[in-house]
Structure 1
Amino acid sequence: MNYYRYNNYGYGINNQEFPYVPVLDMSATQQQIQSVGMFTYPQNLQNALDLIQQALIGENEDRMFYSWLIENAPSDKEKEIISGIREAEIGHFELFNQIYNEVSGMMPQQAPGEQFTPPENYCVGLENAILKEENAVQKYREILYAMQNRVHINMMTEIITDAIRHGMLYNYLYAKNSCKG
């Protein structure tokens, strides 16, 4: 048995050829990028930078949201869990700044953030948090697909796994408080 078969570049398992993926120039339209796929570098790089910029813009609203959740949490244990999530998110903000700067050679643009609107109640806040984390994972994967540098890949892996973990913690708090959607 040939254990090195996977090293035959251009061929997959059982010597099947990989499908041809056309290469687009850097001026490709969003529709062309989508038709080739979000996995194709460097065509997916501008989308990744745009998504990083979006993540950075939402940071101010996120901080107010976490403060609101902490203030409205019914127990010290829940306040501690949400505070830990907030601290990790602050760290993610710094990582996104670093990635954007190192990949683009520029500092991210400062733009006004989203306006914070307090949720109706704690359970609605938890539900919003769960959905935000789920949406973040989807966007962050697209950023990951455009990363070429191993350090940036590791940073994005950290951010994505934290977002998944945060979603699980919010689900725990949602269930613990017998919230109903």
Structure 2
Amino acid sequence: MTHPPTNKGATFAPTVLTPVQVSAVLAACSTRSSSGVRLRGLIAAMYGAGLRVQEALDLRPADLDVTGCQVTVRAGKGGRRRVVSIDPQSCALLSTWLERRRALGLTGRYPVFAAYSAGVVGTPLDQRYVRRALAKAAVRAGIEQRVHPHALRHSHAARPAKGGRIDLVSKQLGRARLDTTQTYLS
């Protein structure tokens, strides 16, 4: 009996969304409901600063400088700390969420992207929730390709990589080796 081939060890091209697709996903998130504003802020953090989903979920309010459009990742992959820039549009969406979260009574001791419902106030969001919410927003936006948190990171990396500055892209993403960033220059 033969077994079907597996994907184990296979390498796939990164999923890259166009800026228009990212804008469509953001537009598909509610601007009135707190969960929609939170999701818009989360997408902005992952796309605008190139953060991994867990790096975004681990952020505390003190890690954000919305005036200077900078984000401090205290413990990225490998436990490395880095300070990264975030584009002004993403910074504005993040700032809107910070204002909303203050109105909800979430203090600085809670993660930036925390739950706010009764009984779970301040609980960090789960990666599975983020994946589902992002996929639903993509469907509402009419995007047919799979949209997932890491696709936002890939999409962030692909934007400046077109300028050929692999060293800057690698530093922004918190990568230890330049060759792992090379895929974005193709």
Q: Structures share a fold, TM > 0.5? A: no
Give the TM-score normalised by the residue count of structure 1. Answer: 0.29
| Structure number with larger C-alpha Rg | 1
Q: State the structure with bigger RCO (CA 8 A, min sep 6), 1 or 2.
A: 2
Higher helix share: 1
